[in-house]
């Protein structure tokens, strides 16, 4: 699941549609601080299509270019016009529900707001409801879990900022909830049972659950195929134990390095350590170091490659981090603290734990810490 752009492209085809597009653009700009609506592309399209009706091929090419750019940049699209035009326009660029941007269709009277793509992950349903409220229109939601008021695994993942690793698992979990069956969620040493509506029915430790499962197996000789319907874990091995694997962004990678180390080497060292620890790289949420490395190009580029924040700490802050860390007299003499990678990782995960201590390779040191995590239901 990729990050979605905050830009929204509004596309209209008539003067009436353009007037509605301008109203909508103003609303989105004023009411959504995080969502920036951009109508420049829409204005170009309106002018092109209205003034060049005889040149339909040129208009289609311009529209296709806009759609292609929207999908490449993960920019939402709002079509004001016929749904058929929207469908034919976006069809060549469709990928899957975890990567496609949201697409919404509104009739030019502004009576109906219809999300037609990426209702949950892309937030089309959410935007449709907000836009419908603004226009005093009807949001036409067709997603099965929404209309049946059932627990939606992809919405749950989005709310908790989890990465969906196997999209086919969403359908398996949805099939259970739509059949009004309970679902189980495992997170670390806890097992939570949810009703088909998403209400927490029971929460227990894994040890307690295993004892009950052993009793059941003795009585009916059955062996459960999966430990839970949904597994929330940064560990690759755990992902095989459920129908749907969600990766929490809970891993902090602390890095120390000599000056001017290339990003490729830093990234390679991090990936090697993650692989050896059995951790999915999608779980990385932050890369950390000492503040004298805040302008280190290799570290900045590596954080950008992982699409995470690069955070640095002062030597005083690092010295105050509690715990037992590997110590280097040379490092302490050079930067003022005996260890950079382990201490900076734990500085960013104060309630977590150090999963992997100092790992050194070619002038780069890496340590991995895990923040405490538990989902919001």
Asked if residue 25 has pLDDT above 90, the reply is: no
Q: Which residues pair with 24 in a beta bridge?
A: none
Q: What are phi and psi of 189, to 5 degrees?
A: -100, 20
How far CA 105 is from CA of 79, 85, 97, 141, in Å, comes to: 5, 10, 17, 12
- Indicate the angle between helix axes 40-51 and 56-72, nearest 10 degrees: 170
Report all structural domains of the chain as residue ranges with CATH numbers, in order of start.
7-142 (3.40.50.11220), 153-247 (no CATH), 249-370 (3.30.420.180)
pLDDT of residue 188: 87
87-145 pLDDT, tens digit per residue, is 999 999 999 989 999 999 999 999 999 999 999 999 999 999 999 999 999 999 999 99
pLDDT in tens, 354-376: 999 999 999 999 999 999 998 99
Distance of alpha carbon 129 from alpha carbon 141, whole angstroms:
9
Weakest-pLDDT range from 18-22, 29-33, 329-333, 356-360: 29-33
Give pLDDT, residue 5. 57
Model pLDDT for residues 181-221, shown as the tens digit of each residue: 999 999 988 999 999 999 999 999 876 555 555 444 433 44
Pick from 267, 263, 235: which is nearest to 253 by CA?
267
User: Phi/psi at 152 (nearest 5 deg)?
Assistant: -115, 115
Tokens of 137: 């229109």
Cβ neighbours of residue 314 closer than 8 Å, sequence gap 6 or more: 290, 291
Q: Is the pLDDT of residue 34 over 70?
A: no
Burial 51-88 (b: 16+ CB within 10 A, else e): eeeeeeeebeebbeebbeebbeebbbbbbbbeeeebee
What predicted TM-score, i.e. pTM, was given to this entire model?
A: 0.82
For the chain, give the mean pLDDT: 87
- Which of left, alpha, beta for 367 (phi over 0: left; psi -120 to 50: alpha)? beta
């Amino acid at each position: 699941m990729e990050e979605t752009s905050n830009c929204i492209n509004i596309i209209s085809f008539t003067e009436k549609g353009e007037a509605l597009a301008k109203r909508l653009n103003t609303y989105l700009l004023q009411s959504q601080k995080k969502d920036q609506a951009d109508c420049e592309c829409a204005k170009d399209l309106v002018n092109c299509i209205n003034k060049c009706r005889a040149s339909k091929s040129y208009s289609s090419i311009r529209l296709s270019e806009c759609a292609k750019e929207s999908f490449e940049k993960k920019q939402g699209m709002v079509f004001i016009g016929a749904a058929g035009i929207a469908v034919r326009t976006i069809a060549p660029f469709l990928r899957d529900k975890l990567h496609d941007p949201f697409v919404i269709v509104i009739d030019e009277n502004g009576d109906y707001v219809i999300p037609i793509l990426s209702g949950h992950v892309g937030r089309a349903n959410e935007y449709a409801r907000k836009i419908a409220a603004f226009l005093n229109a009807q949001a036409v939601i067709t997603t099965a879990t929404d209309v049946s008021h059932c627990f939606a695994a992809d919405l749950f993942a989005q709310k908790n900022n989890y990465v969906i690793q196997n999209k086919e698992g969403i359908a398996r979990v949805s099939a259970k909830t739509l059949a009004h069956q309970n679902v189980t969620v495992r997170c670390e040493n806890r097992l939570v049972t949810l009703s088909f509506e998403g209400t927490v029915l029971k929460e227990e430790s894994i040890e307690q659950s295993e004892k009950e499962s052993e009793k059941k197996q003795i009585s009916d000789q059955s062996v459960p195929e999966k430990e839970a319907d949904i597994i929330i874990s940064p560990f690759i091995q755990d992902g095989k134990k459920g129908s749907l694997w969600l990766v929490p962004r809970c891993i902090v990678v602390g890095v120390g390095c000599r000056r001017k180390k290339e990003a490729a080497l830093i990234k390679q060292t991090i990936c090697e350590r993650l692989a050896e620890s059995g951790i999915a790289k999608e779980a990385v949420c932050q890369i950390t170091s000492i503040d004298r490395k805040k302008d280190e190009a290799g570290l900045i580029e590596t954080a950008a490659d992982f699409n995470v924040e690069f955070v640095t700490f002062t030597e005083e802050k690092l010295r105050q981090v509690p715990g037992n860390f590997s110590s280097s007299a040379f490092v302490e003499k050079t930067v003022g603290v005996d260890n950079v990678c382990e201490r900076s990782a734990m500085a960013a995960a104060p309630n977590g734990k150090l999963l992997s201590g100092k790992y050194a390779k070619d002038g780069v040191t890496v340590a991995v810490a895990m923040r405490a995590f538990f989902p919001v239901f």
